[in-house]
Amino acid sequence: MNALKRYSRTLFCAAGLFAAALVAGCGGGGDQGRDPILGLPAAELVSVAVTPATASVAIGATRTLVATATYTDGSSRDVTVGAAWTSATPAVATVNATSGVAVGVSVGNAVVTAAFNGKSGTSTVTVLPAALVSIAVLPANPSVNIGASQQFTAMGTFSNNTTRDISALSTFRSATPAVATIDAVTGRALGLTAGTSVISATSGALSGSTTLTVNPVTLVSLALTPQAPVLQIGAVRQLTATATFSNGTTADVTSATAFSSSIAGNASVGLANGLITGVAAGTSVVTASYNGQTATTTATVIANVALTRIAVTPASANVALTGTQQYTATATYSDNSTANVTSTVTWTSSNTAIGTVLNTGVATGVAAGTTTITATSGLLSGSASLTVGAAVPPPASAPIDLGRATNFAVLAGTALTNNSGGTTLITGDVGSPSQTTDPTLAAGFTNYKSGAPLTNALADLQVAITDANSRTCDVSSASGIDLGGATLSPGVYCYAGAISITGTLTLNGPGVYIFRTQTTLNTTANSIVALNNGATADNVTWVPVGPTTLGANSVFKGSVLGQAAAITVGDNTTLLNGRVLSAAAVTLRNNQITK
């Protein structure tokens, strides 16, 4: 009996051990490479493979790689987390040492290795340039006046979520060129007629667009000339009404203007023709009205006394070639009264080859020598001499001399428009014959609406512009430029196309900066002109041939000199070190300007 029990126990145990060995031999348990069971060998690691074997990724993008271990028994498992990852070329692609996540750094190929328990596998990662996924045309939905321009930029967004300016790689197009044209290469659009046009930029198969609105031309201001006319009883004097529009153009609108006289008993005026007639000695304010704009001048009527003498001042003057001199004619009458008759006399030059003179009394030097400038009224005349010296160009390093315009922060030869109820504050003299709302001046400064200071400042403004245009260009371009983002040293910068500023322009270092353009000067909203390392606003001069528009809330530096085109200063824009000086119209809105 005992022998039978021992036999049964032995048989049972042997069967159990056989079953366990059978399970182990079939790969059960999943723990490969463990110690042998009942003398059976463990499964050994044969190889490590990385998938995908070749992978591509854009710059800045990621790609997850997988490491798989294979054993002698044919089994395999994911060892991505347990492997040690390295990149042979981390400047091209990096890889996380424990997770196998590769990141594209620069264009090229990098071999990525996963090492595990003495075995390793590799994958070749190719880093591609970031792909362009969309284009935005900036600024979004802008508006301009007829005759004004707008610079557009094509901004590309790439597959790695970065953005950059791709204007140089794009082609611009205006859907309605009758409303606005655009330079296909530079992206500068020009408003032609009122309306809208879709502006698009295309690069490869992608494009983006925005809508440009061209505003109709609006009346900005009205000016009357001459200012403060003097005439005798029974004499007549013709007034001229000049309208300035939002695109910087002007027009004689005398025939469409309504005139009135505050004291018709002193001076009457033709209601529709602006012809003043002297009625009685005294003064009268003559008002002109046109399409909601008004302008005034004061007419002085003197008694019918005999003209006894005409004096021209200054008695002698010296100017350089192309320099100008304002002469004044003063009449003396038989009752010993005097009057400024500069605008009513006839002006002549004895030698126009040396110097010429306008009917306003402004003489200009033509060639070296001396000529006599004469003012004539009836049978009487007065004379003065004008000596023209040989031109001596100033050195390139010399600042632009504004002469008698130096003390002016704002100067407008035709009309000054300032918003009523605004916060405009001017630290410097202001001058314009026609002003809608007088800007607020800091203490100690004067607003000139007529007289010699205004006339002389306008004359010297032209001299300063001539000086600036005579300087030799250090940089010369047949196209326009956006100076935003640039850092410039002193010099003379000349462009045939428009100058614009988007963002910040930094002027770096002491010296003279002159910027000339044959077309327009425009800054975008919130743009900045910054002065660095000794650069000063007094040495910064902007000389556009066309209109100037400074964007809203921008910070500008330097003096803008307009020879015959309007200057518009945007809402809340500051020129805390600068001037706006134009022989045409100037528009202000909630600005702070300090000369």
What would the pLDDT profile of 236-264 be if each residue is shown by its tens digit?
A: 889 999 988 877 778 888 988 999 999 99
Give the mean pLDDT of 405-426: 90
Model confidence at 587, in pLDDT bands (50, 70, 90)?
very high
Q: Which of 231-240, 300-309, 545-554 is predicted most confidently?
A: 545-554
Evaluate if residue 93 carries a pLDDT over 80.
yes
Q: Are strands 230-232 and 236-238 parallel, antiparallel or unpaired?
A: unpaired
Evaluate if residue 7 carries a pLDDT over 50.
no
Q: What is the largest CA-CA distance in the chain?
A: 171
- So what's the pLDDT on residue 396? 63
Model confidence at 393, in pLDDT bands (50, 70, 90)?
low
User: What amino acid occupies position 86?
Assistant: T
Query: How far apart (Å, rounded) are the C-alpha atoms in residues 363 and 29?
Result: 110
Evaluate if residue 270 carries a pLDDT over 50.
yes
User: What amino acid occupies position 194?
Assistant: A
Query: How much helix, strand and coil, in percent to the nearest 5, is found in the chain?
Result: 10, 50, 40
16-30, 100-114, 256-270, 355-369: which has the minimum mean pLDDT?
16-30
Residue boundaries of the structural domains of the chain? 45-128, 132-215, 219-302, 307-389, 403-594
DSSP secondary structure code for residue 99 in this structure: T
**Average pLDDT value over all residues in the chain:** 87
In three state form, how does the secondary structure of 388-455 look?
Answer: EECCCCCCCCCCCCCHHHCCEEEEECCCEEECCCCCCEEECEEECCCECCCCEECCCCCEECCCHHHH
Proportion of the chain above pLDDT 90, given as a percent: 60
Give the mean pLDDT of 346-375: 93
Query: How far apart (Å, rounded) are the C-alpha atoms in residues 445 and 479?
Result: 41
Q: Are strands 429-431 and 475-477 parallel, antiparallel or unpaired?
A: unpaired
User: What amino acid occupies position 172?
Assistant: F
Which of residues 32 and 245 earns the better pLDDT score? 245
Model confidence at 305, in pLDDT bands (50, 70, 90)?
confident
What DSSP line would sit under 240-299, residue for residue?
A: EEEEEETTS-EEE-GGG-EEEES-TTTEEE-TTT-EEEE-SSEEEEEEEEETTEEEEEEE
Model confidence at 540, in pLDDT bands (50, 70, 90)?
very high
Which of residues 2 and 545 earns the better pLDDT score? 545
Query: How far apart (Å, rounded) are the C-alpha atoms in residues 266 and 233?
Result: 9
Classify residue 595 as exposed, middle or buried by CB count within 10 Å of its CB (0-12, 13-18, 19+): buried
Instruction: Let me know how long the chain is.
Output: 595
Query: How far apart (Å, rounded) are the C-alpha atoms in residues 183 and 201?
Result: 11
Query: How far apart (Å, rounded) are the C-alpha atoms in residues 367 and 294?
Result: 42
Sign of the torsion angle spanned by Cα atoms 399, 404, 407, 408: negative
- So what's the pLDDT on residue 160? 78
What would the pLDDT profile of 154-203 be if each residue is shown by its tens digit? Answer: 999 988 777 888 898 899 999 999 999 999 999 999 988 889 999 999 99
Cα end-to-end span (Å), the chain: 127
- So what's the pLDDT on residue 255? 87
Model confidence at 43, in pLDDT bands (50, 70, 90)?
confident
Q: Are strands 267-269 and 540-544 parallel, antiparallel or unpaired?
A: unpaired
In three state form, how does the secondary structure of 43-58 look?
Answer: CCEEEEEEECCEEEEE
Evaluate if residue 344 carries a pLDDT over 90.
no
Evaluate if residue 113 carries a pLDDT over 90.
yes
* Cβ burial 402-421 (10 Å sphere, 16+ → b, else e): bbbbbebbbbbbbbbbbbee
Sign of the torsion angle spanned by Cα atoms 20, 25, 26, 30: positive
Give the mean pLDDT of 42-50: 92
Give the mean pLDDT of 80-101: 95
Question: For the structural domain made of 219-302, what CATH number should be given?
Answer: 2.60.40.10
DSSP secondary structure code for residue 11 in this structure: H
Angle at 447 between CA 327 and CA 259, to 5 degrees: 80
Nearest to 51 by CA among 38, 65, 37: 65
- Cβ contacts of residue 523 below 8 Å, gap of 6+? 500, 501, 502, 529, 549, 550, 551, 554, 556
- In 3-state terms, what secondary structure has residue 466? helix
- Give the CATH class of 307-389: mainly beta
1-5, 201-205, 239-243, 444-448: which has the minimum mean pLDDT?
1-5
What would the pLDDT profile of 139-158 be if each residue is shown by its tens digit? Answer: 999 998 887 889 999 999 98
Alpha carbon of residue 2 to chain centroid = 112
- Walk across the sheet containing 362-365 and list its strands: 324-326, 362-365, 355-357
- So what's the pLDDT on residue 1? 45
- So what's the pLDDT on residue 269? 94
Evaluate if residue 111 carries a pLDDT over 70.
yes
CB 248 within 8 A of CB 545: no
pTM for the model stands at 0.41
Query: How far apart (Å, rounded) are the C-alpha atoms in residues 362 and 348?
Result: 11
Evaluate if residue 20 carries a pLDDT over 80.
no
60-64, 507-511, 582-586: which has the minimum mean pLDDT?
60-64
**Helix (H), strand (E) at residue 383:** strand 380-389
Sign of the torsion angle spanned by Cα atoms 23, 25, 31, 37: positive
Question: For the structural domain made of 45-128, what CATH number should be given?
Answer: 2.60.40.10
Classify residue 21 as exposed, middle or buried by CB count within 10 Å of its CB (0-12, 13-18, 19+): middle
Model confidence at 4, in pLDDT bands (50, 70, 90)?
very low
What DSSP line would sit under 201-231, residue for residue?
A: EEETTEEEEEEEEEEPP-EEEEEEESSS-EE
Alpha helices per DSSP H over 76-234: none
- So what's the pLDDT on residue 391? 55
- So what's the pLDDT on residue 392? 57
CATH of 132-215, one of 2.40.110.10, 3.40.50.1370, 3.40.109.10, 2.60.40.1080: 2.60.40.1080
Instruction: Answer yes or no: same fold for 45-128 and 219-302.
Output: yes
- So what's the pLDDT on residue 220? 86
Evaluate if residue 543 carries a pLDDT over 70.
yes
CB 207 within 8 A of CB 158: no
Query: How far apart (Å, rounded) are the C-alpha atoms in residues 149 and 201?
Result: 17
Model confidence at 500, in pLDDT bands (50, 70, 90)?
very high
Q: What tokens were used for 59?
A: 């710059």
CB 480 within 8 A of CB 499: yes
CB 593 within 8 A of CB 409: yes
Residue with tokens 């425009």: 522
Nearest to 544 by CA among 593, 494, 476, 507: 494
